[in-house]
Amino acid sequence: MLRVGIPDTIDRSLHEYLPKDIRIEILSKDMTGPVEVDFWIVPPAPKPAQAMWPHLRGVRVAQSTLAGVDWLMRLVPSDVTVCDARGVHDISTAEWVVSATLAMMKYFPFYGEVQRAGEWKRRFEASGLYNRIHGTTGEFYPPVLVEDLHGKRVLIVGYGSIGSMIERMMQPFSVRVDRIARTAREGVKTLAALPELLPQADVVVLIVPLTGETRGMIGAEQLAQMKQGALLVNAARGPVVDTDALLAALQAGRIRAALDVTDPEPLPDGHPLWSAPNALITPHVAGSSPGFMPRAMELAGEQIRRMQRGETPINIVTGEY
C-alpha cells in the first residue's frame, strides 16, 4: 500500500481528492520521530517543509503544491523525484496579472489616495500623472483620467502554463502578445529576443521560474530598453529583477511596476520600494485563492494514481527546469 505524507495544515476534507487505497501519514513541522512515506505532499512554504524533511524516510516523489520549486530542489537529494504544481496556479495568478495591469492602467493606486483624502477635485491631477508617466506635456480635453489596456502590446516572458492563461484572459482587450520561453517554438521566442521585444512592449509580464539564467534577468540595461511609461508586471520571483535598478527606474519616472514578488522578500518595513512612485505592490498573494489547495490536492491525487498504475508522474522537474 502506497504511503502518502500529508501536512497537518491541509484540511482533512481535502483528503477526498486522494485514492482510498493508500496509507495516509499526517506530518507536522514539530514531528520528532522518523516516518516512512513514498509520496510526500510538500507544504506550500519552505520552513515547515524544511522541518519535516529530516524525519522522512523512503520518499520517492515530492509533490510541490507550488509552481516554483527552486527551494525544494535544494532541500531534497537528486534521487527524489520532484514534481511542481504546474496548472494549479494558472487561474489565480493569471487573474492577478490582468487585475494588476488594469489597476495600473486605470490609476487605481492614485485614486485610492484620492478616496482616502476625500477630495473629488483631485481627479484632475490624473492628467498630470499621465504626462509624467509618458514624458509628454500635452493638455487634453476632456482631461485624461485613465488609460486603456485595449490595443496595447504585451510581452509575456515565461510562456508556460500560466503565461498561456494570461494571454487567454487578456484576449478580450484586443492586446497584441509577444511570447518568450526557454525553448523556441512557433510563435514563441527565446530570451535572446528580449532586447528586440522589450522596446516595443507597453506591458512586460514576468512569469519565469527562478534559475541561474533568470536571476537578475531584468537589470538596468533591460529597464533602459523599455519604452517610457511601460508597465513591468512581476508575478515570477523577486530576484528575477534587480531591485536597485528597478528602484532607480521608478524614481526617475522611466517606467511603472506592479509587483507580487520582491527581492528581498518579505519586503522589510521602510524599504524604499514600498514608497516608490508608480508602483503597486502586493505581498506575494497571487496564488492564494480558495481554489488553491483543492486544485493542488486534485493534482496530488492524480499523481498518486499514476504511481499506483506504475506510470511516471507528470510535472517532473529536472536540473533548473
Clarify whether 284 is annotated catalytic. Answer: yes
Instruction: Tell me which DSSP letter residue 189 carries.
Output: B
H helix intervals, the chain: 46-52, 70-75, 90-105, 108-117, 125-134, 161-170, 194-197, 220-225, 243-251, 292-308
Q: Exactly one of 179, 237, 256, 295 is catalytic; which is it?
A: 237
What is the rounded CA–CA span in Å between residue 270 and residue 143?
A: 35
How far CA 275 is from CA of 102, 223, 227, in Å, comes to: 20, 19, 22
How far CA 156 is from CA of 3, 104, 163, in Å, comes to: 40, 17, 6
Clarify whether 295 is annotated catalytic. Answer: no
Q: Exactly one of 284, 302, 306, 320 is catalytic; which is it?
A: 284
Strand partners, 57: 36
Prior bond of 54 cis (ω within 30°)? no
Q: Exactly one of 16, 119, 221, 265 is catalytic; which is it?
A: 265
Instruction: Tell me which DSSP letter residue 82 carries.
Output: E
Clarify whether 237 is annotated catalytic. Answer: yes
Which pairs count as long-range contacts for 216-222, CB under 8 Å and 24+ apart, including other chains?
Answer: 216/240, 216/241, 216/242, 217/157, 217/191, 217/241, 218/242, 218/245, 218/246, 219/245, 220/245, 220/248, 220/249, 222/194, 222/195, 222/198
For the chain, the straight-line distance linking the first and the last C-alpha, in angstroms and rounded, comes to 31
Q: Which cell goes with 159?
A: 510562456
CA 318 to chain centre: 20
- Annotated catalytic residues are 237, 265, 284
